[in-house]
Amino acid sequence: MTNANTESPEVSAPSNFLREQIAEDVRTRKFGDAVIQTRFPPEPNGYLHIGHAKAIFLDFGLADEFGGKTNLRFDDTNPEKEETEYVESIMKDVRWLGFEWEKLRYASDYFAQLYEWALQLIKAGKAYVDDLSAEEIRRYRGTLTEPGRDSPYRNRAVEENLDLFERMKAGEFPDGSRVLRAKIDMASPNLNLRDPVMYRILHATHHRTGDAWCIYPMYDFAHGQSDSIEKVTHSMCTLEFADHQPLYKWYIAQLGIFPSQQIEFDRLNLTYTLLSKRRLLQLVEEGHVRGWDDPRMPTLSGIRRRGFTPEAIRAFVASVGATRTNGIVDIEMLEHFQRDDLNRRAARAMAVLRPLKLVIDNYPEGQEELVEVANNPEDASAGTRGVPFSRELFIEQEDFRETPPPKYYRLSPGKEVRLRNAYFITATSVQRSADGSLEVHCTYDPKSRGGNSPDGRKVKSTMHWVSARHAITAEIRLYDKLFLKPDPGDVAEGGSFLDNLNPSSLEIVSDAKLEPSLGSAKPGDRFQFERVGYFCVDPDSSETRKIFNRTLALKDSWAKIEKKAES
Ligand code: ATP
Ligand code: MG
């Protein structure tokens, strides 16, 4: 594990510093009689990803622990990038994770109030209309080592500022020609306090307010005040906003409104994964994946389609916790939580991905029987089912070798193995069937029914199988990591993160053979295909053709031995 967080005590203990901070504020009655109130504030400019799951878990989970409430608030102040499709997907994903908001709000609900507050700051001599271009404003701002310079428009009279701001709102000026700025300190060591922009002109249609506005507040002039309106006590956000906190406080103090407190925590980063809506959008738009919900995507809709469960994601983000320094979590940690959850809950089934025909020569032709199999050995209440067994079966190609390498304990000529829950078999020969494909012939020991040794003799391998006559044929989508590098953002000069895409992240197996009970599986149903991995039914399935996504492989012991031998 490469996660710096996992070494810190707040994660191994069931607590984190945010919880301690809130507990302290409750103890000192920092917010008086106010209940603990949080919000989850996504911008509806893309689908939520696993990083957001961490923020959701902290916002909703901590409020809940302290008897508080959480609002879902869309931070919709960038009309050009925001869409109703994203709003809807975000609501669906939050609910899927198992959380329900107290109030549904939009920053755009507050546009009128924010405008009033802007007028209030202008009247107090704390804000001014600036005619400098964006480029000029950047140049006047200075650098980390040099102070900024005052804009020549900084000392405009209040009356002139009010007039110009009202005319900005009325649509008299083109985009980019003027902005409203807070009048703070052009020499502040914090660049965010060097007269930050409060409003810009944008003649753009907003997904909710339509064309009612042509000036839009900046994130910083909207977020703290929106928190304050909703009486948010703890406004949790990621560390990159730490430098914005003084500005957040400045607006609240100047306006004399409810003193919401911003607290920053570390972003979730995962190996082999990019968590940035902008880049995920690029993957979708350029067709590198099949959509936002492609099972290779780290979006909540992608990993849901892949078969991940909300329970496992919650357990994972709980265990990751929250700290004040950014780290990177090994993707295997997430996979571990998911395997653990599916191992406990997923129904078992037998499926052969790459079929090889097996004929039991001494099993009577035309005979068939039902073998009783536990649906989940981890859960007795899951019951049993009958799986049809007959003379001709399919086994995995990799479970047979005509000339076995050393330490290969599966089937080979003369070797005896167990067919899971069925019988002991001994391979006798390899033949070509009429259509030219290979078929393995064997004999079985009728006294080993149920897969039990009749006389104490042992076999070293147990294999899964399906009856050829009863099997259904299905498509299986095998996913691998989307990126080849642990840090996909690590690119050569002039390169792009796209250079790190794994060209074989999707392999489609079109004629897997499955036990017949899987014919009635519904989209979203999850299974452990014994010895193969965890799979779930893809919504692309039809009544007649099932499609399964591999959620995760089981740890394959043989692949490991083989790899070791190679290296
Ligand atoms: P992105 O960079 O992917 O676009 P964002 O921070 O712009 O993400 P928002 O919609 O603004 O996305 O985020 C909503 C909330 O989720 C914010 O409070 C943000 O801090 C939090 N968040 C976003 N990404 C992560 C992450 N990787 N880990 C933890 N919290 C995150
Ligand atoms: Mg953002």
246-265 pLDDT, tens digit per residue, is 999 999 999 999 999 999 99
Residue 421 has pLDDT above 60, yes or no: yes
Residue among 39, 73, 277, 296 flagged as catalytic: 277
Structure confidence at residue 4 as a pLDDT band (50, 70, 90): very low
Residue 109 banded pLDDT, cuts 50, 70, 90: very high
The pair of structure tokens assigned to 552 is 């995760």
Please tell me the distance between residue 80's alpha carbon and the centre of ligand 1 in angstroms.
Answer: 19
Q: Indicate whether 177 pLDDT > 60.
A: yes
Looking at the CA of residue 41, tell me the nearest atom of ligand 1: 14
Higher-pLDDT residue of 42, 14: 42
Is 267 in the active site?
Answer: yes
How far the first Cα of the chain sits from its last, in Å, is 23
481 is catalytic: no
> What was the pLDDT predicted at 82?
86
Average pLDDT over residues 222-241: 98
529 C-alpha vs ligand 1 centroid, how far in Å? 35
Average per-residue pLDDT for the chain? 94
Which of the four pLDDT bands, split at 50, 70 and 90, describes residue 436? confident
Cβ < 6 A, ligand 1 pocket: 41-43, 51-52, 54-55, 237-238, 267-268, 275-278
Which class is domain 349-471?
mainly beta
Give residue limits of the domains in the chain.
1-268, 271-307+472-514+521-567, 349-471
CATH number for the domain whose boundaries are 271-307+472-514+521-567 = 2.40.240.10
What pLDDT does 562 receive? 59
pLDDT digits (tens, 9 = 90+) for 261-302: 999 999 999 999 999 999 999 999 999 999 999 999 999 999
In this chain, the answer to whether the domains covering 271-307+472-514+521-567 and 349-471 adopt an identical fold is yes
- 384, 375 in Cβ contact below 8 A? yes
Distance from C-alpha of 88 to C-alpha of 156, rounded to nearest angstrom: 44
Are 234 and 457 contacting, i.e. CB atoms less than 8 angstroms apart? no
User: How many Cβ atoms sit within 10 Å of the Cβ of residue 110?
Assistant: 21
Among 418, 534, 423, residue whose Cα is nearest residue 476: 534
pLDDT over 60 at 559, yes or no? no
pLDDT single digits (tens) 475-519: 999 999 999 999 999 998 999 999 999 999 999 999 999 999 999
The secondary structure element, H or E, covering residue 55 is helix 50-65
557 has a pLDDT exceeding 70? no
* Ligand in nearest proximity to the CA of 48: 1
| pLDDT range class, residue 434, cuts 50, 70, 90 | confident
Q: Which CATH class is domain 1-268?
A: alpha beta
The torsion angles phi and psi of 511, rounded to 5 degrees, stand at -135, 55
* Beta strands in 275-320, from DSSP E residues, in sequence order: none
